[in-house]
Amino acid sequence: MEYTSAELMVVAAAREIRDRELVFVGMRLPLLAFLLAKEVHAKEAVSLFENGIIRDRPSREGLYTVSDPANVLAALNCTDMLTIMSLLQSGLVDLGFIGGAQIDRFGNLNTSYIKTPGGGLVRLPGSGGAGDIACLAKRLLVIMPHEKRRFVKRVDYVTSPGYGTGPGWRQEQGLVRGGPAVVITSKGIIKFDPDTREAYLHSYHPGVDLDDIQENTGWDLTVPTEVSMTEPPRPEELAVVRRYDPQGFWTG
């Protein structure tokens, strides 16, 4: 069955969501991933949105922003941002989704600024709630395109901390939980070694060459000898994704 790269990313991300988890959901692909998980295997998972909405059931139609009326209709609660962030601070959020303009080998993310070859800076949107999610959720899931300009040896600025400079860094900073668990890219799935905290290739997507992944990574990405191919989307998974994104607005 044919599918797009973005559809595979959504399916791979959905498989990381566990039943009964409290999930801080973002827009675009993360939202579709949550909706898919909710329908297929994580039926009792609950979603949190930065604008204060809490849902224990999927919206009746696809969303383009978190404040769409469809997201408010039949929500479990419509509260405020402070309440949502307090759930993070209290350690109640199991999984948080974020993305970034840059990510490095220790899972640090940059959405603040990029240095140009001439010594200037390109300003980016900044943190929003991403820094809070990266620091306070029990684990972090990142979704982003796999390009060499994005996957760099060291980010230009740490907006959302991963494992900092390596083992023990989060504990030294007082970050007693969390850290990046998985990076879903357009070419494969990356995880982090529990001892070195460095990224390694967990699986490569169908049709993607390992050399292509290395060429689009700004450091020598570890590839275990037992690396496998990502399981393709199943027809029932694609059916759910396409029901929520029928025009391919996010996944086309």
Q: Which residues are catalytic?
A: 50
Residues ≥6 apart with Cβ < 8 Å to 101 = 110, 111, 114, 124, 150
Pairwise CA distance, residues 63 & 48, whole Å: 14
Pairwise CA distance, residues 36 & 208, whole Å: 24
Give the number of other Cβ atoms within 10 Å of residue 213's Cβ.
Answer: 21
Q: 171-174 long-range contacts, Cβ below 8 Å, gap at least 24?
A: none
Residue 188: its H or E element: strand 188-192
Would you say 237 and 35 are in contact if contact means Cβ atoms under 8 Å apart? no
DSSP symbols for 104-120 = -TT--EE-SEEE-TTS-
